[in-house]
């Protein structure tokens, strides 16, 4: 029996669910409880293995505090080429903020109130990345 390949749209929507869930600091278990599902079902949604129906996606959007459109933002073009239009987020940015380290770095950086400290930190990161 052939392994079923998830639809790229389902994978994209699932990754956006995961991104938002992580940004608000919610576990799969908590989201599942709020939806009346198991965390395994949430996992399947996030991996694109199971499709998210319209009513369920609406529920998820309410729980995570975003519009339904959020889950479709930055969708790759139908021809498989990434569509990076003005105002959209390039794929490498989404990969970064979806990672555990990127999420932690983002949260910590946004808690720094002093603009001068943020600027110095950015300069440090740039210096470290060029020496690598």
60 pLDDT band, cuts 50/70/90, is: very high
Mean pLDDT of the chain: 84
Residues 27-51 have pLDDT tens digits of: 999 999 999 999 999 999 999 999 9
Q: Which residue has the higher pLDDT, 59 or 79?
A: 59
CATH T-level fold of 1-84 = 434 Repressor (Amino-terminal Domain) (1.10.260)
For 13-44, letters b (16+ CB in 10 Å) and e give bbbbbbbbbbbeeeebeebbeeeebeeebbeb
Residues 63-121 have pLDDT tens digits of: 999 999 999 987 876 655 444 444 455 666 667 766 778 878 877 887 888 989 988 98
């Amino acid at each position: 029996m052939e392994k079923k390949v998830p639809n790229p749209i389902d994978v994209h929507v699932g990754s956006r669910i995961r991104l938002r869930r992580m940004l608000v600091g919610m576990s799969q278990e908590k989201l599942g409880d709020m939806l009346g599902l198991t965390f395994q079902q949430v996992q399947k949604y996030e991996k694109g293995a199971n499709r998210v129906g319209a009513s369920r996606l609406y529920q998820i959007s309410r729980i995570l505090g975003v519009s339904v459109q959020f889950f479709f933002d930055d969708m790759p073009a139908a021809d498989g080429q990434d569509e990076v239009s003005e105002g959209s987020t390039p794929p490498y940015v989404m990969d970064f903020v979806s990672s555990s380290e990127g999420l932690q770095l983002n949260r910590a950086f946004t808690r720094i109130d002093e603009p001068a400290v943020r600027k110095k930190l950015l300069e440090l990161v740039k210096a470290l990345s060029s020496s690598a």
